[in-house]
Structure 1
Amino acid sequence: MNNAAISIYLDTRHKKANGCYPIKLRVYNPVTKKTKLYPFTKIKSEINNKADILKIINEGFTMQLALDKIQYSNKPRGTNLKLKFFLNECMHKSSNIAESLHPFSFEKFEKEMFDNIPANGNLSSCYQTKIEVLENHHKIGTASNYKLSKKSLDQFASTISKEISFNSITPDFLESYERYMLDELERSETTVSMYLRALRAVYNKAIDDKIIFPEQYPFGKYKYTIPTGDKVIKALTKEQLASLFNGIPKTLEQQKAKDYWFFSFYAQGMNIKDIALLKFQDVKEDSIQYTRAKTKNTGRKKQKIIYITMNEYILDFIKRYKTLSSSPKDHIFPILTKGLSPHEQHKKVKSFTRYINQHFRKYAILNGINEAVSTYWARHSFTNTLINNGASIEFASEALNHSDIRTTQNYVAGFEENRKKEMMKELLKFQLDE
């Protein structure tokens, strides 16, 4: 008698980007009344051309009936025949293991079923899967970060004659990688943090999907801790803002950069990508209403709408820089054109951001500001101005569309440090006055 019920299950809880659902091995323990689902990519098989089978499995099925036709067909052909053999093999193997366990436990079942599967090589495919998911959701910038993360880890591994895999990456490996990045390549802690947070996300997903065991996780207490990154709050003072706002640019490029930078500032720190994506339909009588590109396609049922109150600067900016089109669904500003793919949009926005930063820095230097001021400073400067004018953290968090108020608190903590330094300078002035 079986201690557990084994079946092949169409997981309709998780719809894939192509509209299909993944199939998984379903194991039910009647004693504890608990069910677990396992991806077929974990199951070792002797069948030829397993890659072809996994491709079909990864694509998924639209309905249970389509899966049943393959599983119970008397005359399957070609790849469907191989898929049927593979599924039957998995069922047979898992049923035999379940029958041999007295009493049955998921821990013992997983050890018998999956322990002999080498983890080497799986990390690269998990990275690639994550990148494809991000690209399918038009998260091109984030996908690019995952690519850079994997490339950086590959480069380090090659220096010690290793290949990255779930087995080779240990806390010691990550400690060595951090030293390599900081000491040899002279990269910042922020870069290390960014790359390793991507790696950690890949590990978490692999554990959720039962591709690896939790014991293989190299992060956390008594293991490896990702550096927090350089906490540098980049904001302009009230005096610097006044100098830049009232200053006169020397070139048309500097004027354009100045105008876009201050539009971002007055639009509550709106980033260049969101500015580029603004459409005429987003402009209402007394406000701009839009959803941040960063939060789109994140699985949230209801996307949060950000409201930007109109003022004279915003109205004048739109009037001067808007395109000639008046179609509600057309972009307001001539940064993006119709028909661009997500990758092409990403390149255009990146190029335009670089253009604004390049010319705004030149303009800032003309006004006695030698720091590398960028569009990113507009958001922090907006926040700094709010806080200095007495706004509460809750108000600032709402204006910035932070989902977690702790993010806003981190901003404010940085500003407080700057204030402390200025206050200490004031306290020591009496020494100079004597």
Structure 2
Amino acid sequence: MISIKLKFRPSTIEGKVGSLYYQVIYKRKVRQVATNFRIVQSEWDSAIEDIVINLQDASRTNYLYYVRHRIESDKKIFKRIINKLTLSDSPFTVDVIVDEFQKQSSEVTLFSYMDDLIGKLWRQGQHRTSETYKATLNSFRRFREGIDVCFEDIDSELLVSYEYHLRSKELSPNTISFYMKRLRAVYNNAVEDGYVDNRNPFKKVFTSSEKTVKRAIQLKYIRQLKDMDLSYSASKSFARDMFLFSFYTRGMSFVDMAYLQKKNLKDDVLTYRRKKTGQLLSIRWEPCMQKIVNQYSSLSSPFLLSVIKDLTGNTRKQYHNALTLINRNLKAIGKELGLVLPLTMYVARHSWASIARNEGIPLSVISEGMGHDSITTTQIYLASLETQVIDNANKKILKLL
């Protein structure tokens, strides 16, 4: 018979908090397992050996509910360990139970597990992935009002509540899916690490994707943008030129533009590796590209464009700050052009793909030119274009009536 009980050890000083611990008994051997939970005497019911929650004391209510959830999670861990050991043919002792519990309970909370994973990804150089996980953790933390949760307590009900929370913030379905898919990846990782049994808690929430709204502009607007007189604003001129450079280079993403070095350009061919996928791309150098580089390249810098200026500083932060300012200026320029959709650097990439498709360039060629892993990704980019083509066809049919 194995006994697991929650016990309370009061403080020797009256009015001070005491500590909770687990008493594990097996074959008359008794072991104690300390916890980090601290409560006062009035919050403990010795008759039922459980926490008493006073709803009138708002300052303690959330904490005590959190402690109760953690205790329930710990009991589930003990139960899982005992079931596994009992079903095995090998003999075990009370020390084996305690050791296994301490091993499994050290990282079973979502927040601590994700914090460790985020740090690990950053150290491995996977900065973008690390940042997306950090954004997901911050979002879920806000939903939980800072209260951590054990993996055992992550179920369909909790995730459905999180989805409703995100919808109440008027986030798009794709943004909701973004958070859910990253949470699911973390959960699956914890399953592989043995911290939780997979109960498929994500089956009732949105983890697919919807067609994105149109983010491409017509060629005539690209021409208007190119011909605009922005000499009155250096920051707007820079934003416009970065947009055009992206368009000229087959929709190169801004992060790749920011880190382009002069050594990437050789014999009129620009060769670079995409930050997102690691794919190696080559682009024939054109006079329009050189014109922008001549304007923004610095002799003392190894970079092709003047996005990152301080080589000794945080280059990633410089790239982010530059992108924020460029997009702000592009949106203002877009309004001057009378565009309905917000003009951003990402629009350059979509526009190149859409205009290329309009010109009859095969989908496989567009996909290769953009550095996509598959044609499916390119089709997502061109979804709005295909809808427009269908609508135009429908209009022609209706005119026949």
TM-score normalised per structure 2: 0.70
Within the alignment, does 1:314 sit opposite 2:289 as a pair? Answer: yes
Cα distance between partner residues in 1 of 2:153 and 2:179:
17
Return closer, same or farther for 1:389/1:373 CA change in 2, 3 Å cut-off: same
- The 5 A counterparts of 1:299-310 are 303-310=278-285
Match of 1:170 in 2: 155
Aligned match of 1:74: none
- Structure 1 position 142 matched with structure 2 position 129: yes
- Which residue in the other structure is 1:182 paired with? 167
Give the distance between the partners of 1:401 and 1:313, measured in 2 at CA: 21
Which of these residues, 358, 367, 372, is aligned with residue 388 of structure 1?
Answer: 358
Summarize the alignment of residues 65-80 of structure 1 with structure 2, pairs less than 5 Å apart. Answer: none
Deviation per CA, 1:216-267: give whole Å up to 9, x if none: x3124xx444252562230011222222223333533322211110100111
Provide the residue aligned with 1:204 in structure 2: 188
Note the alpha carbon deviations across 1:343-399, whole angstroms, 9 max, x for none: x22221111112211222222222222421100000110111111111222111111
Paired residues of 2:216 and 2:348 also in contact (CA < 8 A): yes
Match for 1:394: what amino acid?
S
Q: In structure 2, do the counterparts of structure 1 residues 199 and 427 end up closer, same or farther at CA, with 3 Å as the change threshold?
A: same
> Which of 341, 366, 369 in structure 2 is aligned with 1:399?
369
Query: For the aligned residues, what is the CA RMSD?
Result: 3.4
Describe the SS at the equivalent of 1:218. coil
Partner of 1:293, secondary structure, is: coil
**Amino acid in structure 2 at the alignment position of 1:271:** S
What letter matches 1:325 in structure 2? S
User: Residues of 2 paired with 1:175 and 1:119: CA distance?
Assistant: 27
Match of 2:235 in 1: 253
- The alpha-carbon deviation at position 273 of structure 1 amounts to 1.4
Shift of the 427–168 alpha-carbon distance from structure 1 to 2, 3 Å rule, reads: same
Cα distance change on mapping 1:229 and 1:138 into 2, 3 Å: farther
What letter matches 1:155 in structure 2?
R
Against the structure 1 CA distance between its residues 202 and 139, is the aligned structure 2 distance closer, same or farther, given a 3 Å change threshold? same
Distance (whole Å) between structure 1 residues aligned to residue 103 and residue 134 of structure 2: 29
The one-letter code of the counterpart of 1:209 is: D
2:153 and 2:218 map into 1 onto residues whose CA distance is: 48
Indicate conservation of the 8 Å contact 2:211/2:383, yes or no: no
- Matched residue type, 2:267: E
Structure 2 letter corresponding to 1:353: L
1-side partners of 2:102 and 2:317: how far apart?
Answer: 44
Paired residues of 1:257 and 1:360 also in contact (CA < 8 A): yes
1:333 aligns with 2:305: yes
Gap change, CA 1:227 and 1:176, over 3 Å in 2: farther
Q: CA deviation at 1:182?
A: 0.9
SS at match of 1:414: helix
Which residue identity lines up with residue 180 of structure 1 in the other structure? H
* Structure that is richer in strand per residue: 2
Query: For residues 211 and 412 of structure 1, do their structure 2 counterparts lie closer, same or farther at Cα, with a shift above 3 Å needed?
Result: same
Matches within 5 A, 1:367-382: 367-382=337-352
Structure 1 distance, partners of 2:163, 2:284, is 44
Structure 2 counterpart of 1:266, one-letter code: Y
The answer to whether 1:191 aligns with 2:138 is no
Which structure 2 residues correspond to residues 273-284 of structure 1 after superposition, within 5 A? 273-284=255-266
Larger Rg: 2
Contact 1:119 1:167 (C-alpha < 8 Å) held by counterparts: no
User: Paired residue for 2:139?
Assistant: 152
- Quick one: distance in 1 between partners of 2:201 and 2:86? 34
1:167 is paired with a residue of what secondary structure?
helix
3-state SS of 1:333 partner: coil
| CA gap 1:224/1:191 in 2 versus in 1, 3 angstroms | closer
Q: Is the 8 A contact 2:259 2:303 kept in 1?
A: yes
**CA positional deviation for 1:130:** 1.8
Larger deviation: 187-196 or 238-247? 238-247
Q: State the 1:317 CA deviation.
A: 1.3
Letter of the 1:409 counterpart: Q
* Residue of structure 1 in register with 2:116 after alignment: 129
Q: Distance in 1 between matches of 2:114 and 2:355?
A: 40
* Match among 294, 297, 309 for residue 276 of structure 2: 294
Structure 1, unpaired ranges of 5+: 1-44, 50-93, 105-109, 296-302
Distance in 2, Cα, partners of 1:253 & 1:115:
56
**Is contact 1:265–1:382 with CA below 8 Å preserved after alignment?**
yes
- 2:140 is matched by which residue type in structure 1? L
TM-score norm. by structure 1 comes to 0.65
1:235 counterpart residue number:
216
**1 CA distance for matches of 2:317 and 2:104?**
40
CA distance in structure 2 between the aligned counterparts of 1:158 and 1:98, rounded to whole angstroms: 37
Distance 2:336 2:194 in 1: 57
